[in-house]
Structures are given as C-alpha cells and as structure tokens.
Amino acid sequence: MNKIHTTAIATAVGLSVVLGGVALSRSGGGEAAAPKPVPVGALSARAAQLDDLEATLDRQLAAAPKPPAPVTTFVPTPAPDAAPSYRDGDDDEYKSDDRDEYESDDDDGGGYESDGHDD
C-alpha cells in the first residue's frame, strides 16, 4: 500500500473518532439519567387511589349480571357412506392366464427378447 493511502485511511479513521466523541458528549453519551426522587407521600397517595379503584371494580364485577351458561346441543352426524365398489362381482377377469406379463401374443421380435447377437 502506498504511503499516501495509509495516511488518508489513518486521517479518515482519526476524524471519525473525533466526530464520534463530540456527538457522544453532546448527547449525554452513555450516562444514565438519575431517576428523580419521588416523595413518600405521593407514593402512598397513588397507592390509596389504586386501592380505591380496585375496590370499585370488584364491586361492579360482583353486581354485574352473570351471563347464562351456554347450551350445548349435540347433533349426531350420519354414518359415512361405504366405499364405492369398482368390481362387478365377476372375478374371472382378474385371474391370471399363466402368461408372463412381458410376453405378447404376436412375437414380432421387439421388446425384451434377444435377437441372438451379442452387441
């Protein structure tokens, strides 16, 4: 790498570090803001308000009419239909006639049979 390139990269990195530091210091960078103290009297007053609200909601819930229980009605479903039959009862057409499935009625020399020559 040329000396000029090294100097340019080092200058760019240094400048970004300086600008990042300035931005961090302006934004309050990294410091957590200290929580403001809350007086004990304010906490106890807010807790009393929340307790009163909870008691009011409990009374309203107790006074509300209860919805009727849902009525469940069971409707029987019909039995499924039997599977369709694709056979007409004539079993003779499904029996084998003792032929090899690769043989054909007409022996034209095609198919899997050898012609006697080894290639």
The answer to whether 24 and 30 are in contact (CB under 8 A) is: yes
Q: What is the mean pLDDT of the chain?
A: 79
Instruction: Identify the residue with better confidence: 83 or 77.
Output: 77
**pLDDT tens for residues 46-59?**
999 999 999 999 99
Buried b (16+ CB within 10 A) or exposed e, 45-73: eeeeeeeeeeeeeeeeeeeeeeeeeeeee
Q: How far is CA 66 from CA 60, 61, 63, 72, 80, in A?
A: 12, 9, 9, 18, 41
Whether pTM > 0.85 for this model: the answer is: no
**Which pLDDT does position 105 carry in this prediction?**
54
Query: Quick one: pLDDT band at residue 19, thresholds 50, 70, 90?
Result: very high
